[in-house]
Amino acid sequence: MSNPQVELHIAGKGVILIELDAEKAPISTENFLHYVNKGHYDNTIFHRVIPGFMIQGGGFEPSMEQKHSDAAIQNEGNNGLKNNKYTLAMARTQAPHSATAQFFINTADNEFLNHTAPSLQGWGYAVFGHVVSGTEIVDAIEEVKTGRNGFHDDVPKEPIIIEKAVAL
Amino acid sequence: MTATVLPFQVLQAPENWRTVDFISDLHLQEQDTATFKVWQTYMHNTTADAVFILGDLFEVWVGDDAVAHHVFLQHCASVLKLCAATKHVAFMRGNRDFLVGTFFLHECRVQDLQDPTLLNFASHKILLSHGDAGCLADTSYQEFRHMVRQVNWQSTFLAKPLSERESIARQLRMQSESLKKDPQTLYADVDDGWTAQWLAQTEATCLVHGHTHRPADHHLDLGLSLSKTRHVLSDWDAAAPRPRAEVLRWHSTGKHERVSLLAQ
């Protein structure tokens, strides 16, 4: 069976096509598709953009209102997939198994995010897919102006809106 | 360079480094603006090529998410970031700030050091540690340390709401303060056997550590006419009756000195 693909329709910018690695990251893939299919990501934003690092989204509305998410999932950071440029990984708090809906796209080879040991610092961030097309949109998002917004740093001044996420 | 097969990290200093600074135990906290200001000025002005912070930079760290809620921590992050833009800044976790995360350090452009780390600087092999792991005589602390370094304990703690974690940290601090006031409390020092074992394993000639707040240079007699030294860093407290803020500065020539940052 071929890997699932998801389109992220970015307002005013185009479509980022993502392929998920259902074989190496079955839990994260199923979790992501669950949020896609229930429309969770529609009208959410990339709320954290750090050039040379990553762009993160999937948890906030354009008003910076945080969306409710479901139960946290097991961290699949030890699946062998690396946090290389244009890969998709689950965002989380510092607790290793705390990912829910938020994800990020690496915009550099972030070796320090890879799994090295089952410790707090070593668990790493679970990669579960990569950008197939639309890398130029990822590059464009990385370039936008950012600033502080309430409790959050690196928030785009003009919201980068995911109009809808569509599973193919 | 990091050697992953060894039980310690190895850091090869670039050839162009002339001076490195070691500091630890600043215990930065919102209420102590005096120490923060001395640190801020130092980080801005130091002429060293690298600053190694060997633990307990912060009085307490309950999780990286606290930064978003405390302007003081944001100021600390800015100082680190600004300094790291022009020189190498490395951080090792101490017993107070062992929960500092890789994400936070990366965002500040600060290198994440394991404890211990062997620094190869010019022709010198310097072993770096916070020091708490070597205080073997304090068995109850070692048990506590073992517990809070477990990934399960840390995950459970970090999963608690920020306010609850801050309240737990306050309670722990009060317990520790009351112990300090008890004249029966004896503080363990870094164990000589532990030091000798690590120096032998890493082939380092000296150990630099903090934690004990007892700044001194101890010469270790390891027999075979080996001369090895344990350099203990000073803690910082610019507001104390006996104010202190000291840097151990090491030159590529091997010369090293303790520099006080406070006017005498």
Express each pLDDT in B121-166 by its tens digit. Answer: 999 999 999 999 999 999 989 999 999 999 899 999 999 999 999 9
pTM exceeding the 0.80 threshold for the entire prediction: yes
Indicate the residue of B4, B64, B107 with minimum beta-carbon distance to A94: B64
Please list every residue in chain B whose beta carbon sits closer than 8 Å to the beta carbon of residue A95.
154-155, 158-159
Distance separating alpha carbons of residues B38 and A83, to the nearest angstrom: 38
- B65 touching A (Cβ < 8 Å): yes
- A119 touching B (Cβ < 8 Å): yes
Please list every residue in chain B whose beta carbon sits closer than 8 Å to the beta carbon of residue A53.
106-107
Q: How high is the ipTM of this complex?
A: 0.79
* Tokens matching residue A66: 């945080």
- A77 touching B (Cβ < 8 Å): no
Q: Provide the β-strand partners of residue B126.
A: B119, B206
For each of chain A's 168 residues, which pLDDT tens digit applies? 689 999 999 999 999 999 999 999 999 999 999 999 999 999 999 999 999 999 999 999 999 999 999 999 999 999 999 999 999 999 999 999 999 999 999 999 999 999 998 888 889 999 999 999 999 999 999 999 999 888 788 999 999 999 999 999
What residue ranges in chain B does DSSP mark as E strands? Answer: 9-12, 19-23, 50-54, 88-92, 111-113, 117-121, 124-129, 206-209, 216-221, 227-232, 246-251, 256-260
Percent share of chain A, pLDDT over 90: 91
CATH of B9-252 among 1.20.1730.10, 2.60.40.1230, 3.60.21.10, 3.20.20.70: 3.60.21.10
pLDDT at B225: 58
pLDDT at B208: 98
Indicate the residue of A97, A121, A152 with minimum beta-carbon distance to B155: A97
Q: What are phi and psi of B249, to 5 degrees?
A: -105, 125
pLDDT at A152: 85
Neighbours of B196 (CB within 10 A): 18
Q: How far is A12 from chain B (nearest CA, A)?
A: 29
- A95 touching B (Cβ < 8 Å): yes
- B146 touching A (Cβ < 8 Å): no
User: Nearest chain B Cα to A152, which residue?
Assistant: B68
Please list every residue in chain A whose beta carbon sits closer than 8 Å to the beta carbon of residue B159.
93, 95, 98
pLDDT at B185: 66
Parts of chain B with a pLDDT under 50: 1-4
- A109 touching B (Cβ < 8 Å): no
> End-to-end alpha-carbon separation of chain A, Å?
14
Average pLDDT of chain A to the nearest whole number: 95
- B140 touching A (Cβ < 8 Å): no
* Tokens matching residue B151: 């990934």
User: Nearest chain A Cα to B66, which residue?
Assistant: A151
Distance separating alpha carbons of residues B184 and A55, to the nearest angstrom: 54
Domains and CATH numbers, chain A: 5-167 (2.40.100.10)
Indicate the residue of B102, B107, B158 with minimum beta-carbon distance to A95: B158
Distance separating alpha carbons of residues B75 and A24, to the nearest angstrom: 41
Q: Which residues contact A158 (CB under 8 A, 6 or more apart)?
A: A144, A145
Q: Which residues contact B116 (CB under 8 A, 6 or more apart)?
A: B8, B9, B127, B128, B129, B198, B202
- B53 touching A (Cβ < 8 Å): no
| Residue ranges per structural domain of chain B | 9-252
* CB-CB under 8 Å, A113 with B102: yes
